[in-house]
Amino acid sequence: MTQNLTIDNDFRDLIPPLRLDERTELEASIQQDGCRDPLTVWSGTVIDGHNRYEICTRLSVPFEVVEKEFDSKVDALIWIRRNQLARRNLTDDQRAINAERLRQLESQKVKSTAATARNLQRSKSDNVSDHEPDKKPKRDTRKEMAENTKLPERKLRGAALVIKERPDLADKVEQGEIKMADAVREIKRAEVVASLESVEAREQKALEGVYDVIVIDPPWPMQKIDRDERENQVAFDYPTMSEAEMADLEMPAADDCHMWLWTTHKFLPMALRLSEGWGFKYVCTFVWHKPGGFQPIGLPQYNCEFALYCRKGSPKFLDTKAFPTCFEAARGGHSEKPEEFYDVVRRVTGGRRIDIFNRRKIEGFDVWGKEAGDE
């Protein structure tokens, strides 16, 4: 049989689109063998079999239908979502979004039914308190859904977050266009950006003279070594500071602040002491691998420099993709840090940034140093 059926976009959009190869295979099968599986309809509206209906209608291929009876559109939506969960071609991310939306629909139906029952009861009695039903223990519907679908609760919580904060991203996850982790990452990134870029917060930090990101390359108390200077170096004729003098520095740090503290092999222990004294907690070490290097007699070749990543409070990164702790970059002038490092810091952090003891101007940073134009 053939008949004109109605397509409801709310129903159709619940069905992930077929891949090109899947659609081609389905169309070839219908052309050869006809439409073997009946379409499922409710009151003349397709609720399962949208792809088959489109192909059959276009190719004038007859099809059969199976009628379903539902009390409401919500019941029909619940049936479709339950049916989708049984499909084997869905990823866990797609199933999680579908399962969480199903859970929300079922909770909505339960609340609606309970409200209707209460209203009916009120209309039958003037004394509602005498007829209030015993309250049932609150169900953990997400835990039940996790058990029924064999999906981790954390994945369902992630799905709930995406559905609540970015329904558009939830749609893309359900359609298989993006991964859940990417959607969650985008939401978290937006939250961080919003907190860092609020006008009030920026103005307050500016007034207080504090920064969300600090890069510092202290004038370590190194001694000049008599040796031929390479072209990329200048004489070490710049003021140095003792550990006590550096310890007395007050870091212009916000309550939640990232800090990268540049140091060398010799001053690693001192750097760790200083970071702790400034109120920061050491997290990890970034390593800049340089071509060539200095090799003391009887020791390995020194061909890297370190930036200790420390944090105060709980600062957040905007992005952690392509964010390794080791990188390679060419040498610049003496104590000059590579632009590749600053590119990463600008990409993964937001808010106000300062580079202390720098020898040049850096895009996206306030700078303070002997050769950066500051006294």
Provide the residue ranges of all domains of the chain, joining segments of one domain with +: 9-69, 92-130+139-196, 210-368
Task: Give residue 233's pLDDT.
Answer: 43
- 190, amino acid identity: A
Within 10 angstroms of residue 277's Cβ, the number of other Cβ atoms is 14
DSSP letter at 134 equals: P
54 or 110: which carries more pLDDT confidence?
54
**Residue 42 pLDDT more than 90?**
yes
Quickly list DSSP for 34-102.
Answer: ---SPEEEETTEEEE-HHHHHHHHHHT----EEE---SSHHHHHHHHHHHHHT-TT--HHHHHHHHHHH
**Residue 374 pLDDT more than 60?**
no
User: Taken in order 317, 320, 326, 327, is the CA torsion positive or negative?
Assistant: negative
Interval 292-325: pLDDT, tens: 767 677 777 778 999 999 999 999 999 888 899 9
Global pTM reads 0.63
Task: Give residue 127's pLDDT.
Answer: 53
**Residue 226 pLDDT more than 50?**
no
Quickly list DSSP for 310-359.
Answer: EEES----S--TT--SEEE----STTPPPHHHHHHHHHH--S-EEEET-S
Per the CB < 8 A criterion, the answer to whether 329 and 292 are in contact is no
260 or 371: which carries more pLDDT confidence?
260
**Residue 163 pLDDT more than 90?**
yes
CATH top-level class for 210-368? alpha beta
Pull the structure tokens for residue 24.
């081609």
Pull the structure tokens for residue 126.
């003037």
For the residues 287-295, what does the mean pLDDT come to? 82
Candidates 108, 99, 106; CA nearest to 173 is: 99
Nearest-angstrom CA–CA distance, 14 and 73:
13
For the residues 137-149, what does the mean pLDDT come to? 81
- Burial code (b: 16+ CB inside 10 Å, e: under 16) for 15-43 equals bbeeeeeeeeeebeebeeeebeeebbbbe
Q: Which fold has domain 9-69?
A: 3.90.1530
**How open is the CA angle 134-137-140, to the nearest 5 degrees?**
150
Nearest-angstrom CA–CA distance, 63 and 56:
7
107 or 128: which carries more pLDDT confidence?
107
